[in-house]
Structure 1
Amino acid sequence: MAQSEAFDRREQVTEPSTAEEASRLYAMSVEMADRVSARRGLANQFYLSIETLLLGVPAFLGLNSSAPGLDPLRATLLAAIGVVVSAAWWLQLRSYRQLNTAKFEVILKMEVDHFHIHPFTDEWNSLKKDRVAGWRGRYAELGTIERVVPIVFLLANIFVGLWAWL
């Protein structure tokens, strides 16, 4: 098929209405935001597994009297790898958070500009105003909790690296 024939066929396709196009783009944007969140969850599982292994090996060898001990140099090497993994984890989480923030800004704007109902806007406003009894003044975002975990592992790895020399 010649290029001009393909161009002519595209011109024959009727353009969807603005509301139809907005609905399609909205659905696609929500799906993409969900996929980013799913990838973020898988990344968390991956890093948590690596950190558990890196901290578990020295702990197992140190507590198991029948296993050969782990010399300080190897324990420090595992701890240093753990520090690097923790830092990479934290940076990747920051990147995912920035990406999701941008995606939800677009989704919220689309809700306001094109629809009479605003499910994500309403959900977020509800979470921000409702106090969680016995916890804290407002909703604790998962991103806040996620950012603490790599830092805890980073500190644990530093502790293990220093403890190996004592």
Structure 2
Amino acid sequence: MLESATTEHERTEEVLEIYKLLVEMADRVSQRRQSANSFYLTVNTAIIGATAYVARDTDGANTWAISLAGVAICILWIRAVLSYKSLNSAKFKVITELEGRLPVAAFKDEWEFLQGANGKRHTPFHKTEVLVPFVFISVHSAQFASTLPWQAIWEAGKLALC
């Protein structure tokens, strides 16, 4: 009897150590995610500044190129946010499943509390986080559009209709 209790205690200790490791790994992914967001935010801010600087001295082609690069960076940013989201979702699924073998299920309980009775108590971070690149896409697009030769486009459109 004592031998099986010790073995069960040892298994619980092993599960607890794996649990601690998984929680630490999930935290590291979140830290990398924040670093990536800071990187993309910095790059986009620099691109907007560069576009504004270049736009005052050139005919627009450089502005178009830089703005399009900004949009491409934003698309990569969105993909990174979604990738980190799926990675963390998988980690938290494993963590909550592992909690079934422990006396306390802190992550599962926390998530149930955040969901509330109607499931609307908490908005996941990625839903807000993914909006930031779209704001930058709008700014890059506006900078791109501001350098288009609108008068020439209007005139060409009128000629095409005649």
TM-score, structure 2 as length reference: 0.79
Structure 2 residue 82 is the aligned partner of structure 1 residue 89? no
- Measure how far apart 1:122 and its partner are: 1.4
- Residue of structure 2 aligned with 1:78, choices 57, 66, 70: 66
Counterpart Cα distance in 2 of 1:82 and 1:126: 39
- Measure how far apart 1:108 and its partner are: 0.6
The alignment of Structure 1 onto Structure 2 pairs a total of residues equal to 140
1:22-33 alignment, distance < 5 Å: 22-33=15-26
Q: For 1:115, give the aligned amino acid.
A: L
- Whether the 8 Å contact between 1:58 and 1:75 is mirrored in structure 2 is yes
- Measure how far apart 1:156 and its partner are: 1.7
TM-score, structure 1 as length reference: 0.77
Over the aligned positions, Cα root-mean-square deviation in angstroms equals 1.9
Specify every segment of 5 or more residues in structure 1 that has no aligned partner in the other structure, as ranges: 1-15, 63-67, 132-136
| Partner SS, residue 44 of structure 2 | helix
- Measure how far apart 1:130 and its partner are: 7.4
Structure 2 residue 144 is the aligned partner of structure 1 residue 156? no
Q: For 2:23, give the aligned amino acid.
A: V
Which structure carries more helix by proportion?
A: 2
- Residue of structure 2 aligned with 1:18, choices 11, 15, 21: 11
Specify every segment of 5 or more residues in structure 2 that has no aligned partner in the other structure, as ranges: 1-8, 150-162
- Measure how far apart 1:165 and its partner are: 1.4
- Whether the 8 Å contact between 1:58 and 1:70 is mirrored in structure 2 is no
Structure 2 residue 107 is the aligned partner of structure 1 residue 120? yes
Q: Alignment identity in percent?
A: 33
Instruction: Point out 4+ residue stretches in structure 1 off by more than 6 angstroms.
Output: none
- Whether the 8 Å contact between 1:130 and 1:139 is mirrored in structure 2 is no
